[in-house]
Amino acid sequence: MYEYKEKYILDFTSMKDWRYFHSIIAKEFDFPDHYGRNWSAFWDCMVDLLLSNKNLNIEIIGLDKIYDENKKDVDLLIKILKRLKHVYNDEYFDAIKIAIHHGGSLVELT
């Protein structure tokens, strides 16, 4: 559970069905088997992951391919990740790097 990686890569480019969205997340972050596959569970697991590792480097690929059909959930993912950077009064702000591939460039979340 919560195996440390130098970089976590969420790759949604080959996702054909939204049901696999949380499965991709759970696999890449090595979430526990009881992960609830919802946004509250995602937040809880991400905070646990941060507290166990102290550093997170996350790269997200393919959000543009799934955005049109899943705007609400993609926006929630980004909102939660931005919130994570500011958890505990920005204590881990510099330890969390989040980049999204968008149109051939990398956009850093702050």
The span from the CA of 23 to the CA of 72, in Å, is 18
Answer yes or no: is 3 within a domain: no
Q: Report the number of distinct structural domains present in the chain.
A: 1
pLDDT > 90: percent of the chain: 76
Q: Which pLDDT score, from 0 to 100, does residue 104 have?
A: 82
Residue 47: closest CA among 78, 110, 2, 98: 2
CB atoms within 10 A of CB 16: 7
Cβ-based neighbours of 96, under 8 Å, separated by 6 or more: 50, 55, 56, 58, 84, 85
Residue 24 confidence (pLDDT): 95
pLDDT tens profile 44-76: 999 999 999 889 999 999 998 888 888 999 999
Q: What is the pTM of this model?
A: 0.91
Range of the domain at 18: 8-108
Q: Which of 3 and 38 is assigned the larger pLDDT?
A: 38
The CATH number of the domain where 62 resides is what? 3.30.370.10
In a domain, 1, yes or no: no
Which pair of tokens denotes residue 17? 């069905």
- 81 found inside a domain: yes
Question: How far from 74 is each of 23, 38, 55, 92, CA to CA, in Å?
Answer: 15, 13, 23, 23
pLDDT of residue 41: 97
The tens digit of pLDDT for each residue in 30-42 reads 999 999 999 999 9
